[in-house]
Amino acid sequence: MAVLVTGAAGFIGHAVAAALLQRGEAVVGIDEMNGYYPVVLKQARLDRLQRFPRFSFYHQDFSDFAALQRRCASHGIERIVHLGAQAGVRHSLENPAAYVRSNMAGHVSVLELARAVDAVHMVYASSSSVYGGNAQLPFAVGDPVSQPLSLYAASKRSCELMSESYAHLFRLPMTGLRFFTVYGPWGRPDMAVWKFTEALFEGRPLPLYAGGRLRRDFTFIDDIVVGVLAALDRAPADDGREKPGGSRSPHAIYNLGNHRPELVSDLVLAIEAAAGLVAQRETLPMQPGDAEATYADIALTTRDLGWLPQTALAQGIPQFVNWYRQWLANGAAAD
């Protein structure tokens, strides 16, 4: 039996697939390898996974259900980790159709696959963006999430609602994970940690929206992987009891965040310290779709999944900066 991982060439997908393979699982990876950021990075991640003999990969748009079902037919898919999506808050203002296709139609396609194979459990990626402009901190999974600040956030909330309907109608066990600002080696070039590090090494000013006063709950990739696997191994019971997120179907929602919001200006200081360089700073106004702060309440995650993040920003940023130096030096994979 195999685990399907969508978005297997993505940042989190690649890391989760590697962890599954390392513990002896057979993994089927799906990724459309789109050009939202350089495909060379996605291919380098994929090259690392293809060293494992129990890894199979298909270059495929998962929103095409017929093709997805055909690709998976011979693999005995038992569990699904759905991490594929069109990412990025700001990009959703420029290309909303990509979010409708990938995050909404694509999610339905994967739900239909879960139904077709009678999946034991489907874990899927949501986002801290669903909390919108919630002023109550920290964000708890029981908080209202009906006022998204971007189409990206709306698309992720729609994934949660569609999953609830499938869990209710077809009794499919589902777990949604709201990720909080994930960073680390092999990360995404569109995110602040990469963008700031790149600008610092290139001698360009670092763009600080709202003067660096925004707060983010930066969560290291290794901690996220542990959380995803913990969720995958604990399917919610179909027992009629209320789950985190409010469902009485076999559907739970959890926060995966560091439970430690940091000023973006402090992120810059950590990158400077790790790089041994001093950054130029460019103060810019707050951008549409941005929240002023994110902060994860992880009490239910810890209670149910036994998960606690282990990596502070001061520990994680040097690991990213060291990896980034190798990436620049080699122009390709850095282990």
* Helices marked H in the chain: 11-22, 39-49, 65-72, 91-94, 96-99, 106-117, 151-170, 192-202, 221-232, 264-275, 299-305, 313-330
> How is residue 66 written in tokens?
């017929």
Residue 255's DSSP bridge partners are: 178
Euclidean distance between CA atoms 89 and 218, whole angstroms: 16
Q: How does strand 215-216 pair with strand 262-263? A: antiparallel
Distance separating alpha carbons of residues 309 and 299, to the nearest angstrom:
12
CA distance 49 to 96: 31
Closest CA to 285 of 210, 192, 212: 210
Residue count of the chain:
335
Q: Is 152 a catalytic residue?
A: yes
Residue 230 and residue 254 in contact, taking contact as beta carbons nearer than 8 Å: no
Q: How far apart are CA 168 and CA 227, in angstroms?
A: 24
Backbone angles phi, psi at 139, to 5 degrees: -75, 125
CA dihedral sign, ordered 42, 188, 310, 4:
negative
Question: How many degrees, rounded to 5, is the angle at CA 50 between CA 47 and CA 55?
Answer: 145
> Please, what is the angle between helix 192-202 and helix 264-275, to 10°?
50
Catalytic residue among 36, 131, 152, 324: 152
Q: Which two tokens stand for residue 304?
A: 């149910």
Can you tell me the distance from the alpha carbon of 278 to that of 104, in angstroms, rounded to the nearest whole number? 42
Instruction: Indicate the residue type of 290.
Output: D
Question: 122 - beta bridge partners?
Answer: 80, 174
Catalytic (active-site) positions: 152
